[in-house]
Amino acid sequence: MKAALILENGDIYLGRSIGSTKTRVFEMVFNTSMTGYQEILTDPSYAGQGIVMSYPLMGNYGVNHEDNESRRPWAEAFIVRHLSRVGSNFRCEGTLGDYLKEHDITGIEDVDTRALTKTLRNQGSMNAMITCAENFSVADLLPAIRAYRVEGTVDRVTRSAPETFPAYGEEKHHVAMMDFGVKQHMIECLRRRGCRVTALPAHTPAEEVLAGGYDGVMLSNGPGDPAENTAIIAELKKLYDSDIPLFGVCLGHQLLALATGARTGRLAYGHRGGNHPVRDLEKGRVFITSQNHGYMVLSDSVDPAVAEVSHVNVNDGTCEGLRYKRPNCFTTQFHPEANAGPKDTEYLFNRFVASMGGDR
């Protein structure tokens, strides 16, 4: 079945439908990863977005239940150059095409993904629509495309009730994971380091967290504009004013910065992929990182009496991490658990465990 991708600037890309045939409007973003499409689709940070993969072949190793990063996929749409009809891997349990249909994800293939990626990079992320309608008027569709907004996504992706995951082996610490859209592998990284992890709904009051007997709190990744989460930001300020160890990632990094007086801004086209170089200023080393964000903490808005920039993006110099003056508190913009992606920065989980007292 034929399908069309329509950008809010009026550009049209014709291709073939994959997955669901429903018409969908979404924010169009690109990802530069060569693999990890299942982890990308199930990353809650993509709620409300459609993803074009810059690498031309997707689906070649199929899908399996172990690689899901959350209870369901959250991406609205998936755009590829070529979709493999066969999954060739000993772990394969099905094809990517069937996975898209099963989870009602609209998709399109046989489009020029290189040209589409270059458009987004030059003009910035923009809204788009995929439709399988045989006859349509772009002029009639553009108002609805341009009116779309990614809003209220944290409330959509967070848990409705606490959920506890036991440590692997001997339990050394109990960590509260504030679920703003957490990836499961972030929880797994803590479990492998002897932490029992209790994932809490995003709007859990700070008083309840502090009364829970936790050794530390992680602020997870998640979708959307951080500044719209005003109630969550107010609760994080209370956590910051306590002495409990804190480690924030991606959206958690942005929310804690807002809670301590810094400001955030929108990136033109975001950082999404598994090949983003970041310099750790303390170590004096560059690490390759996995990233998925459209907003950033503005470095010049960080009060030096509160925090200092600890990591910077090598490509554009944006803030990739903060080290707070308050003891046992640090955050990163990139994903240190990096599933799928490079594992270079998993050392940050060791730092977080050390901040809780190490291997007690």
> Is 173 known to be catalytic?
no
Separation between Cα atoms, residue 341 and residue 326, nearest integer Å: 31
- Judge whether 189 and 346 are in contact, CB under 8 Å: yes
Separation between Cα atoms, residue 312 and residue 334, nearest integer Å: 10
Separation between Cα atoms, residue 81 and residue 194, nearest integer Å: 42
Helices (H), the chain: 37-41, 96-102, 113-123, 138-147, 153-157, 184-191, 206-210, 230-241, 251-259, 347-355
Number of H helices, E strands in the chain: 10, 19
39, 173, 189, 250: the active-site residue: 250
Residue 233 corresponds to which tokens in the numbers above? 């930001």
Is the Cα dihedral 327, 332, 336, 337 positive or negative?
A: positive
> Is 337 known to be catalytic?
yes
Separation between Cα atoms, residue 353 and residue 64, nearest integer Å: 31
69, 76, 109, 337: the active-site residue: 337
173, 185, 276, 335: the active-site residue: 335
Separation between Cα atoms, residue 70 and residue 38, nearest integer Å: 10
> Is 335 known to be catalytic?
yes
- Judge whether 172 and 195 are in contact, CB under 8 Å: yes
- Cβ atoms within 10 Å, residue 237: 16
Q: Which three-class secondary structure state does DSSP give residue 42?
A: coil
Q: Which three-class secondary structure state does DSSP give residue 352?
A: helix
* Residues with catalytic roles: 250, 335, 337
